Structure 1
Amino acid sequence: MKLYHHPLSGHAHRARLFLSLLGVDAELVEVNLAAGAHKAPDFLKLNPFGQVPVLDDDGTIINDSNAILVYLAKKQGVTNWLPEDAKGAAAVQRWLSVAAGEIAYGPCAARLITVFNAPFNANEVIARAHVILGRIEKALAERQWIAADHPTIADVALYSYIARAPEGNVDRAAYSNVTVWLRRVEALPGFVAFQKTEIGIPEVA
């Protein structure tokens, strides 16, 4: 199994983190984004969208970070990470949609400005980040994990860009429930950290 990734991509970190939490060995293949390797013909054969991560499971190619989380959970048969019952599966899917939507257009986009010089409006995306962090803060007031009474792939999908939100100048100081939840994720056996940069504002302790 191979994971094509970049160490500063939160989407790639989701996949790498879940592989590690599952104890699945995978060869990490770093894609040089700065050199445009993700737009090279060979890589576009793996992912026509030209994005990391890409999982190659013995010739089965899975693109999209959330799709990789679902694939790995199903492949490994771990129903604790992805519930089989309708209500549980729907709860997880709801937060996977948040990861692909509000997180992508909020804390992820804010970080893309500072780390990758993305041409977004900083005030706009930082404001979006605070809206979704406020909603997650409220959700976590009633539970320890975002979608169930135990960790699921929803927690994995949300973790990376929330953990590194300060790199995009998004202050997490007001979100104590979120901070405690981040520490819960980081205490899971097999946790692997998302590479830090010195950009942005100091991270909440």
Structure 2
Amino acid sequence: MPEHTPASEPAPAAPALVLHDAPLSGHAHRVRLFLSLLGLPWRSQVVDLKAGEHKRPAFLAMNRFGQVPVLQDGDVVLADSNAILVYLNARYAPDPTLWLPADPVGAARVQRWLSLAAGPLAFGPAAARIALLMGRPTDEAAVARAHALLQVMDAHLATQDFLAAARPALADIAHYAYVALAPEGHVALDDYPQVRAWLVRIEALPGFLPMPRSRLGLLA
């Protein structure tokens, strides 16, 4: 169970945060990334997905859907990566409005991209990658959905540096991993210069935590 210390000045003291985690899960990585960006101390409890640990009673008691990640913060137990991002921001960010604007329009713009992360992102680049991770053939339908999303993202990012605002927000954290690792699912990023530039901007944030890479798809 590796321990993580802040990459920069820590946020106000927090109880011991435990992340029930899987190293190759992009959903888990978005939480790891935000914990690191906030400078919070946390501990990873790796869940053995191949052994089916996420479907055993102890894990299902924390998340009945049997999915990582799950965050334990004292007596608080939360599942769903986007919900965890919202919680961590409200509970621990020195200024929560930097990551999730308080004004109605700004908040709606972030929520729009969080919804896209649970839809086109999950069923596009994430699904294309998981097919190869699980030893299945390339999921051509997922690859097509990924390119449709990336075309929209590239056009959008030609107008501003980040997805929902002029600065990074929860929307960007939710999309980073599965877009960055899209080539692992046979989804090339060559035709999306604005998306590639956006990835570089995310990776330049203080406290950025990289996602482990796999030799799959275009990276094989």
TM > 0.5: yes
1:11 corresponds in structure 2 to 27
Determine the C-alpha separation between the residues in 1 that align with 2:219 and 2:73.
38
CA distance in 2, matches of 1:117, 1:148: 38
Deviation at 1:79, TM superposition (A): 1.3
3-state SS of paired residue (1:29): strand
SS at match of 2:61: helix
Q: Which one-letter code corresponds to 1:19 in the other structure?
A: L
SS in 1 for 2:217: coil
Query: What is the aligned partner in structure 1 of residue 198 from structure 2?
Result: 181
Alignment of 1:21-170 (within 5 A): 21-77=37-93, 78-117=96-135, 122-170=139-187
Q: Does 1:195 align with 2:197?
A: no
Output the CA distance in 2 between the equivalents of 1:65 and 1:55: 9
Kindly state the Cα deviation for residue 122 of structure 1 after the two structures are TM-superposed: 1.2
What is the TM-score of this pair, normalised by structure 2? Answer: 0.89
Counterpart of 1:187 in structure 2: which amino acid?
Answer: A
Looking at structure 2, the residues matched to 66 and 118 of structure 1 have their Cα atoms a distance apart, in angstroms, of 27
C-alpha distance in 2, partners of 1:44/1:17?
24
The alpha carbon displacement at 1:116 in A equals: 2.1
Aligned equivalents of 1:118, 1:93: Cα separation in 2:
32
Which residue of 1 is the match for residue 188 of structure 2? Answer: 171
**Aligned AA (1:63):** A
Residues in 2 aligned to 1:180 and 1:116: alpha-carbon distance in whole angstroms:
30
Q: Distance in 2 between matches of 1:39 and 1:110?
A: 23
Deviates more, 1:102-111 or 1:78-87: 78-87
SS at match of 1:79: helix
> Structure 1 length normalisation: TM-score?
0.96
Specify the alignment match of 2:9 in structure 1: none
Deviations, residues 119-140 of structure 1 (Å, cap 9, x unaligned)? 8x71111000000000000110
Paired positions, count: 202
Q: List alignment gaps of at least 5 residues for structure 1.
A: none
Alignment root-mean-square deviation, CA: 1.3
Deviation at 1:118, TM superposition (A): 5.6
Q: Which runs of 5+ in 2 are unaligned?
A: 1-16
